[in-house]
Amino acid sequence: MRSHRKKMMALLVACFAMLSGQTQAEELYYIHTDHLGTPKVMTDEAKNTVWEVDYLPFGKVVEITNNIDQSKRFPGQYEDKESGYYYNYFRDYDPSLGRYLQSDPIGLSGGLNTYAYVEGNPLNRVDRYGLWSPKAHDTLIQYAFEGMLPQREIDIMKKSGREFDKNTQASNQSYMHSMRQKGESIEDAIRQRDQFINDNLSNICVGYPNNRDDQLKTFGEIVHPVMDKYSPEHRDINGNPKEWNPLWPFGHSPMEHIGNETVKDITPNVRDQVTRELIESYNSAF
């Protein structure tokens, strides 16, 4: 199975039942994706290819072979057959231009070009949406360190965390947001997350011995999964990392007032637990 995945250059990230219009019977199909979670091939239960596509770098379809209809495109996107645009939950995306049709709802926090897709780097990044809203992360950091650190240093952490959020959205980086890849065990996801946090905390001052700003930037990145593991969209009822499905980003909060990870979703219990862990992490690093 591992060699098959490697040969296909894809990961099996989703399977779903589709209704056949001729037989009215359910049939099972498997979606195979590239390293970012973009569907490339679909097979049936007999391992026959029933759908295959080639894209230009920004997602425009150049060739498609299909016996069935499959409208999923970049992670979180669905193609509208009439317009040719890709519905991306909060905005519409034009794959022929490689740009969004609407400005970024979070404004300049997403970058200076508010219509750009993943800052012009579609081979390595995706705009799948997710995680606590930027304001929620900022609120947690502010509450933990207000009165303990100068506001300038707190702001460095906030900005660093936002950039980290944007730059670590590939499926194999799910542990950096306290989630797990498709098919990954809970134990492996927790191990990767905790190793990422602990190893990097112990090396902050070693890596940047004379640069306080760089130390704080790195700290803002490291504690991102510390906050995410308390998000209602990232943990199950037992507190374990949920499985990330890049084809289903709904419930997450790329902006305030949308989804289930906004400031209003920070309960006093979550706030206090995150504060305790953030301060413990800070004391461990510095």
pLDDT at 247 over 70: no
Same domain, 181 and 234: yes
Q: Are residues 103 and 234 in the same domain?
A: no
Comparing CA positions, the residue from 121, 93, 87, 214 lying closest to residue 160 is 214
Pairing of strands 49-55, 39-44: antiparallel
Q: Return the pLDDT at 268.
A: 84
Percent of the chain scoring above 70 in pLDDT? 77
Q: Are residues 151 and 256 in the same domain?
A: yes
Does 125 reside within a domain?
Answer: no
Give the domain extent around 260: 134-285
Q: What is the mean pLDDT of residues 91-102?
A: 87
- Answer whether residue 87 is part of any domain: yes
Averaged pLDDT score across all residues of the chain: 79
pLDDT exceeds 50 at position 274: yes
Q: Do 171 and 266 belong together in one domain?
A: yes
CA distance 232 to 178: 11
Same domain as 277, residue 152: yes
Are residues 155 and 270 part of one domain? Answer: yes
Tally the domains of the chain.
2
pLDDT in tens, 155-176: 999 999 988 887 887 778 889 9
Placement of tokens 């991102």 in the chain: 224
CA distance 224 to 161: 6
165 shares its domain with 44: no
Asked if residue 216 and residue 188 are part of one domain, the reply reads: yes
Closest C-alpha to 126, from 93, 160, 83: 93
Report residue 16: phi and psi, to 5°.
Answer: -155, 160
Whole-angstrom distance, CA of residue 116 vs CA of residue 122: 11
Which residues are registered as beta bridge partners of 86? 79, 93
Within the chain, where are the H helices? Answer: 2-8, 134-145, 151-167, 186-201, 204-207, 212-222, 224-228, 268-285
Whether residues 142 and 111 fall in one domain: no
Could you tell me if 136 and 262 are in contact, meaning their C-beta atoms sit under 8 angstroms apart?
yes
Q: Quick check: is 129 in a domain?
A: no
Q: What separation in angstroms does the CA of 207 have from each of 3, 165, 199, 204, 214?
A: 37, 21, 12, 5, 9
Judgement on whether residues 116 and 199 belong to the same structural domain of the protein: no
Does 88 or 43 have the greater pLDDT score?
Answer: 43
pTM over 0.85: no
Residues 93, 143: one domain?
no
If one compares 48 and 251, the residue with the highest pLDDT of the two is: 48
pLDDT digits (tens, 9 = 90+) for 20-56: 444 456 788 899 988 888 899 999 999 999 999 999 9
The pLDDT tens digits for 101-151 are 877 655 555 566 778 887 788 887 766 553 345 778 888 999 999 999 999
Q: Is residue 86 part of a domain?
A: yes
126 occurs within a structural domain: no
pLDDT value at position 2? 41
In terms of domains, do 29 and 147 share one?
A: no
Residue with tokens 């650190």: 149
Residue 47: inside a domain: yes
Query: From edge to edge, which strands make up the β-sheet containing 99-100?
Result: 78-79, 86-87, 92-94, 99-100
